[in-house]
Chains A and B, each alone.
Chain A
Amino acid sequence: AQSVTQLDSQVPVFEEAPVELRCNYSSSVSVYLFWYVQYPNQGLQLLLKYLSGSTLVESINGFEAEFNKSQTSFHLRKPSVHISDTAEYFCAVSEETNAGKSTFGDGTTLTVKP
């Protein structure tokens, strides 16, 4: 069975600073990896996903995540955050053999301060 650990429950940063939200996973088979974002009072939205190919994936709003198979990690980064990035971020994994079932981490609350 797969599992996901998000290493930081809360990350406070100042506007325009870089940020990294850490995610480690465990699985005995090949996986797909996802980051979801939940803005205040909104539903979960897919931010980006790794399926195969290039280990670096990017979102349209400047976030990127790198799949590191040897370290079983999928950390999310942004070089310069905005106030509007304040949200809760969830890392998720699903196994290639059962892609319909996703396992989520417990979330990281990113708070961007002016």
Chain B
Amino acid sequence: DTGVSQNPRHKITKRGQNVTFRCDPISEHNRLYWYRQTLGQGPEFLTYFQNEAQLEKSRLLSDRFSAERPKGSFSTLEIQRTEQGDSAMYLCASSLGVATPLDTQYFGPGTRLTVL
């Protein structure tokens, strides 16, 4: 399958622990996006990358959150000192990143985080 993949699909952790999620975009996609989705709400933009450069970060992304895309391919999203309010579905999407706005974002299946 050549779609966007995310690992793990589910993560249960205790409050205060650190967690890291991985996203593998579609091959040759230059842009990669992270969103957070809580129950009953739509996805909320967190950040996006053009290749390895992080172009924008939402103010939702507190200093406990950090995202990287070191080689312009896969990306990781780390949450330090997790809180119960961090429980959500974390979505990753990728796009070609050329000639926006003709770009189309392709979404992965998400990582569901539960903080106990």
Q: Once the chains are docked, how many angstroms separate the CA of A98 from the CA of B93?
A: 17
Is A94 located at the chain interface by the 8 A CB criterion?
Answer: yes
**Nearest chain A CB to B33's CB is how many angstroms away?**
7
Is B100 located at the chain interface by the 8 A CB criterion?
Answer: yes
Partner of A106, one of B4, B40, B102: B40
Residue on A with the closest CB to B37? A104
Label chain A's interface by main secondary structure.
strand
Q: Once the chains are docked, how many angstroms separate the CA of A105 from the CA of B40?
A: 10
Whether B109 and A104, one on each chain, are in contact in the complex, defined by CB atoms closer than 8 angstroms, is: no
Residue on A with the closest CB to B42? A104
Given known A-B contacts A43-B109, A104-B44, A94 and B104 have beta carbons under 8 A apart: no
Q: Considering residues A45, A98, A100, A106, which has the most beta carbons from chain B within 10 angstroms of its beta carbon?
A: A100
**Nearest chain B CB to A7's CB is how many angstroms away?**
14
Q: How many A-B pairs with Cβ below 8 Å?
A: 59
**Nearest chain B CB to A28's CB is how many angstroms away?**
18
Whether B101 and A43, one on each chain, are in contact in the complex, defined by CB atoms closer than 8 angstroms, is: no
**Nearest chain B CB to A60's CB is how many angstroms away?**
14
**Nearest chain A CB to B92's CB is how many angstroms away?**
10
Is A32 located at the chain interface by the 8 A CB criterion?
Answer: yes
Chain B interface residues toward A at CB < 8 A? 3-4, 31, 33, 35, 40-45, 48, 50, 55-56, 58, 91, 93, 100-110
Residues from chain B with Cβ under 8 Å of A6 in the complex: 42
Chain A interface residues toward B at CB < 8 A? 4, 6, 9, 32, 36, 42-46, 49, 51, 90, 92, 94, 96, 98-107
Q: Once the chains are docked, how many angstroms separate the CA of A44 from the CA of B55?
A: 23
Question: Can you give 15 A-B contacts (C-beta < 8 A)?
Answer: A36-B107, A44-B91, A45-B107, A46-B105, A46-B106, A51-B102, A96-B101, A98-B56, A99-B100, A100-B56, A100-B100, A102-B43, A102-B105, A104-B44, A107-B42
- Across the A-B interface, the 10 shortest Cβ-Cβ residue pairs: A104-B42, A44-B107, A99-B101, A99-B100, A43-B107, A104-B43, A43-B109, A32-B101, A106-B42, A106-B41
